[in-house]
Structure 1
Amino acid sequence: MTKIIKHQWINIAYAIVSLLICLGLGYGISAITGGLPPSLYGMAILTLSLQLKWISAERISVFTTWAIRHMGVCFVPAGVGIIEHKQLIQQHGLAIVAITFVTTFLVLTFVGLIYQKHEEKSQTKPTNNDTSRHS
């Protein structure tokens, strides 16, 4: 194996171990506190770990890129399950579509507003380069 391929395998192993640790901690927190599903706790732990740089985003990028490319496989069973409930879709299809569009719009609006406020705050913060120098 070449050095680059070996390095990628090490990063993939690092990513898998990191994700399993976060998921395991999520299961632990869920067992203690309950409330949310363990995978959500795990995602929160992963996000926090990435923000605090406890987990290297660069090292897990190969694995996450692969996972995102193949994510459609996860949704095929859900699509098949929907087809099995044709009667429910016929009865409530319009409501399902409306709820999907409204909630998507609300989430996008909420995220957009939060982002705008964050950007406004970051633009008004003085940086070290903004201090005026007297000659």
Structure 2
Amino acid sequence: MKNIIYTIMAISICLISGRMLYSVIGGLPASLYGMIMYCLLLQLGWFNPDKVQQANQWGIKHMGICFIPAAVGVINHFELFQRHGYSIVAIILVTTFILITFVGILAEKYLTKRSKPAVDAEDY
């Protein structure tokens, strides 16, 4: 129970900070600023990843409930999908490929840089 409260507080702090950042900077949605801050604070160790892991996994497991409103939006604008369906699918595929490629390149670059073993002076 403590971990759930800890996770809710951590996410709430980041979302509120994201809203404040959005009001100052603008540009990206406030929730995206909050997610970026949440990820950064987890990476920096300000939030304990072990405490938020279980609650975050539960949220991801039940995330499908969040997409029901999106499905309703698709049904409400079905005529747009009839007219521009192929274009929308093409855009989704191309941007997904670009995003996955970009994330893969960055992950490979940064993860291989971290995992290279240190060279001892005795090897020379």
TM-score (norm 1): 0.83
After superposition, the C-alpha distances for 1:22-44 in whole angstroms (9 at most, x for unaligned) are: 11111111112222211111111
Q: Which of 59, 62, 68 does residue 54 from structure 2 map onto? A: 62
Long gaps (5+) in structure 1: 1-8
The alpha-carbon deviation at position 59 of structure 1 amounts to 0.2
Which structure 2 residue ranges, 5 or more long, are not aligned? none
Q: Which aligned runs of 4 or more in structure 1 are off by greater than 3 angstroms? A: none
TM value normalised by structure 2: 0.90
Change (3 A) 1:80 1:115: same
Identity of aligned residues (%): 44
Aligned to 1:4: none
Pick closer, same or farther for the CA change 1:13–1:113 going to 2, 3 Å: same
- Residue 83 of structure 2 corresponds to residue 94 of structure 1: no
Candidates 2, 9, 19, aligned match of 1:10: 2
Aligned mates of 1:121, 1:71 — CA distance in 2: 33
Compute the RMSD of aligned alpha carbons: 1.7
Opposite residue 64 of structure 1, the aligned amino acid is N
Aligned pair count reads 123
The structure-2 alpha-carbon separation of the partners of 1:120 and 1:55, relative to structure 1 and needing over 3 Å to count, comes to: closer
